[in-house]
A = this chain, B = another copy of it.
Amino acid sequence: MKVLFLGDVFGKPGRLAVSHFVPKLIAAHGIDLVVANSENSAGGAGVTPESADELLACEVDLLTGGNHIWSKRELVPYLEKPGSRQLRPANYPPGSPGRGRAVIQTPDGRRLGVINLEGRVFMKTLDDPFRAAEEELAALKKEGVTAVLVDMHCEATSEKNAMGHFLDGRVSAVLGTHTHVQTADERVLPGGTAFITDVGMCGPWDSVIGVKKDLVLQRFLTQRPVGFEPARRETYLQGALVDIDEASGKARSIVRVQERLPD
């Protein structure tokens, strides 16, 4: 099973990159399923039902989230909808709206479990993502799901790498998001789990992690609040393509994806 996973889709440039490249990549690589992190899909901050629907209309099968998932109030009922295809990190307190886990399937019925987690180092005071991973994984195993992809939305390289080794041999892939910068450490870990610290961002690269660079610089230089706007130029689609052996749930390979939108 070939799964394309895309990093934080950032604003309109990111959505354009998805609509432009996803169909092409599906055709070129025989991709079975597409998952994307949508947490910055609405103007760079958060997700709206509209920004989520726009991505799902581009042959994306499921959306994951991160620390920005609650930015837009109108997303809460959307997360709660039966059959919602927008996840939120699993390790929010019990009773949080929405779900941190889903099972999607290919037209011919092959299933992929997806778990969405959020790290805690330098981030929020959430529930333990390691124990949350265990619980969500147990639920998926109970449903008989073999192939499992984990979106580890997280700041610190240590926490992401610890999660990779923690789940190695038990899931098909642990793929990092949140830093908006793709890392060059993709590999299949010894136990058979595909891993990358961060798949990067679908959005404008002539920026500071998606935001107009002058605005971010002003914030660093003055230490005063500055309104952020999405940048526009040098848009890339970034992610990773994982090939999973469905019988064992192990990854055969992981390849980084980095495509530049024509100007």
Contacts and interface: CB of A to CB of B under 8 A. Distances in A.
B128 A162 contact: no
A182 to B, nearest CB: 4
A70 B225 contact: yes
B122 A220 contact: no
Nearest to A131: B93
A244 to B, nearest CB: 22
A128 B132 CA distance: 13
A155 interface: yes
Interface in A173-224: 179-185, 190, 197-198, 200, 205-209, 213, 216-217, 220-224
A92 B224 contact: yes
A258 interface: yes
Interface string A219-263: 011111100000000000000000000000000000010100000
A84 interface: no
Interface residues of A, number: 52
Given A206-B190, A220-B130, A157 B184 contact: no
A217 B185 contact: no
B121 A222 contact: no
Nearest to A96: B222
Secondary structure at the A interface, as helix, strand, loop or mixed, is loop
Tallying the copies of this chain within the complex gives 4
Contacts of A159: 220
Contact of A181 (B127, B131, B185): B185
A158 B122 contact: no
Given A165-B208, A183-B183, A125 B120 contact: yes
Nearest to A94: B131
Nearest to A69: B224
B128 A93 contact: yes
B127 A128 contact: yes
A155 B156 CA distance: 8
B209 A157 contact: yes
Interface in A117-137: 120-122, 124-128, 130-131
Interface in A80-95: 92-93, 95
Given A70-B224, A125-B223, A162-B216, 8 more contacts: A93-B222, A130-B220, A157-B181, A161-B207, A182-B185, A183-B198, A184-B184, A184-B256
